Amino acid sequence: MDVLSRLRASVQATVSTTVSQISHALPGNPVFREYDIVSQTPICSAGPGLFWKAYAAKKKSTSQDAAVFVLEKKCLDPFSKRDKEFMIELLKKGIIQLTRLRHPGVLTVQHPLEDSRESLAFATEPVMTCLADVIDDQSSVDKIDFSPVEIKYGLYQLCNSLMFLHREAKIVHGNISPNSIVIDAKGTWKLFGFDFCCLNSSPAGQSPLWNAKEPDRDLAVAAQPNLDYLAPEFGRNKGIGSVQETNVSISPSVDLYSLGCLIVSLFNEGKPPVSYDDDFEMFYKRVGMINIATSRILSSIPEGIRDLVYSLLSTHPEQRPELDFITQINYFEDPCVKTLIYLDTLFQRENLHKSQFFRSLPDLLPQFSTRIKLCRIVPCLDIECKGTPAMVPFILPSLISIAKEVSSDEYDKFMLPGLRGLMKMTEPVQVSLLFLKNLESLLDKSSIDSVKCDLTPLVARCLDQPSLAEACLAALPKLSSKLDFPILRSTLLPKIKKLCMDSDNLSLRVQGLLSLAKILDHLDKWTVLDEVLPLLNQLPGKNQSAIIMACVGIYRLAFEQPKLGIPKEYLATKVLPALWPMTVEPGLNLVQLEALIQLIRDMSSKVETAQKLTLKSSMDISLEHKKILDETFKAPNGLVQKPETISKPLRGTTTTTLSAKDPSTIMATAGQTLENPMRG
User: Residue 553: which of 502, 515, 527, 523 has the closest Cα?
Assistant: 515
* pLDDT score recorded for residue 625: 66
Whether the CB-CB separation of 182 and 107 falls below 8 Å is answered with: yes
Cα-to-chain-centroid distance, residue 450:
10
Distances (CA, A) of 192 to 52, 123, 320, 421, 570: 11, 13, 23, 35, 78
* pLDDT score recorded for residue 241: 44
Distances (CA, A) of 205 to 164, 208, 329, 604, 618: 18, 9, 32, 103, 114
Whether the CB-CB separation of 251 and 173 falls below 8 Å is answered with: no
513-567 pLDDT tens trace = 888 888 777 788 888 888 888 888 888 766 678 888 888 888 888 888 877 778 8
Average pLDDT over residues 564-587: 82
63-112 pLDDT tens trace = 999 999 999 999 898 888 888 999 999 999 999 999 999 999 999 999 99
Average pLDDT over residues 659-664: 40
Task: Write down the H helix ranges in 481-505.
Answer: 485-487, 493-502
Cα gap 4→632, rounded to integer Å = 70
* pLDDT score recorded for residue 493: 83
Q: What is the 3-state secondary structure (H, E, C) of 625-668?
A: HHHHHHHHCECCCCCECCCECCCCCCCCCCCCCECCCCHHHHHH
11 pLDDT band, cuts 50/70/90, is: very low
Q: Phi/psi at 45 (nearest 5 deg)?
A: -120, 145
Cα gap 358→515, rounded to integer Å = 35
Cα gap 211→647, rounded to integer Å = 135
Beta-bridge partners for 248: 212
Taking the CA of residue 617 as centre, how many other CA atoms within 13 Å lie in the half-sphere pointing to its CB?
6
* pLDDT score recorded for residue 465: 79
User: Residue 229: which of 266, 186, 188, 190 has the closest Cα?
Assistant: 266
Radius of gyration over every alpha carbon of the chain, rounded to an integer in angstroms: 43
* pLDDT score recorded for residue 288: 60
* pLDDT score recorded for residue 200: 87
614-635 pLDDT tens trace = 788 777 666 666 666 666 656 5
CB atoms within 10 A of CB 540: 13
User: Residue 178: which of 296, 259, 293 has the closest Cα?
Assistant: 259
140 pLDDT band, cuts 50/70/90, is: very low
Whether the CB-CB separation of 433 and 471 falls below 8 Å is answered with: yes
Q: What residue type is assigned to position 83 of the chain?
A: D
Q: What residue type is assigned to position 557 of the chain?
A: L
User: Residue 311: which of 233, 231, 236, 257 has the closest Cα?
Assistant: 257
448 pLDDT band, cuts 50/70/90, is: confident
End-to-end, the C-alpha distance of the chain in Å comes to 80
Average pLDDT over residues 43-66: 92
* pLDDT score recorded for residue 400: 92
Angle formed by the axes of helices 378-387 and 416-423, nearest 10°: 30
Burial of 19: CB neighbours in 10 Å, binned 0-12, 13-18, 19+: exposed
CB atoms within 10 A of CB 209: 15
Average pLDDT over residues 662-672: 38
Whether the CB-CB separation of 232 and 316 falls below 8 Å is answered with: no
Cα gap 176→472, rounded to integer Å = 56
Cα gap 401→359, rounded to integer Å = 12
Q: What is the DSSP string of 400-427?
A: HHHHHHS-HHHIIIIIHHHHHHHHT--S
User: Residue 108: which of 64, 149, 63, 48 has the closest Cα?
Assistant: 64
* pLDDT score recorded for residue 632: 67
Average pLDDT over residues 333-337: 90
Q: Which residue has the higher pLDDT, 369 or 25?
A: 369
pTM of the model: 0.74
Cα gap 126→107, rounded to integer Å = 9
Burial of 33: CB neighbours in 10 Å, binned 0-12, 13-18, 19+: exposed
Cα gap 416→358, rounded to integer Å = 20
Cα gap 400→505, rounded to integer Å = 31
- The rounded mean pLDDT for the chain is 80
Given a cut of 90, whether residue 647 has pLDDT beyond it is no
Cα gap 631→623, rounded to integer Å = 12
Beta-bridge partners for 212: 248
251-306 pLDDT tens trace = 899 999 999 999 999 988 888 888 887 777 777 776 666 654 556 677 788 888 98
Whether the CB-CB separation of 465 and 478 falls below 8 Å is answered with: no
1 pLDDT band, cuts 50/70/90, is: very low
Cα gap 655→351, rounded to integer Å = 109
Q: What residue type is assigned to position 237 of the chain?
A: N
416-448 CB burial, b ≥16 within 10 A, e <16: bebbeebbebeeeeebbbbbbebbebbbebbee
The percent of residues in the chain predicted with pLDDT above 70, rounded, is: 82
* pLDDT score recorded for residue 210: 87
Lowest mean pLDDT among 248-252, 488-492, 529-533, 601-605: 488-492
Lowest mean pLDDT among 395-409, 470-484, 488-502, 632-646: 632-646
* pLDDT score recorded for residue 190: 95
312-349 CB burial, b ≥16 within 10 A, e <16: bbbeebeebbebeebeeeebbebebbebbbbbbebeee
Given a cut of 50, whether residue 356 has pLDDT beyond it is yes
Whether the CB-CB separation of 281 and 308 falls below 8 Å is answered with: no
Q: Which residue has the higher pLDDT, 105 or 462?
A: 105
Lowest mean pLDDT among 100-104, 186-190, 406-410, 590-594: 590-594
Q: Which residue has the higher pLDDT, 104 or 217?
A: 104
Number of helical (H) and strand (E) elements in the chain, helices listed first: 33, 13
Q: Which residue has the higher pLDDT, 348 or 643?
A: 348
* pLDDT score recorded for residue 294: 55
* pLDDT score recorded for residue 290: 61
27 pLDDT band, cuts 50/70/90, is: low
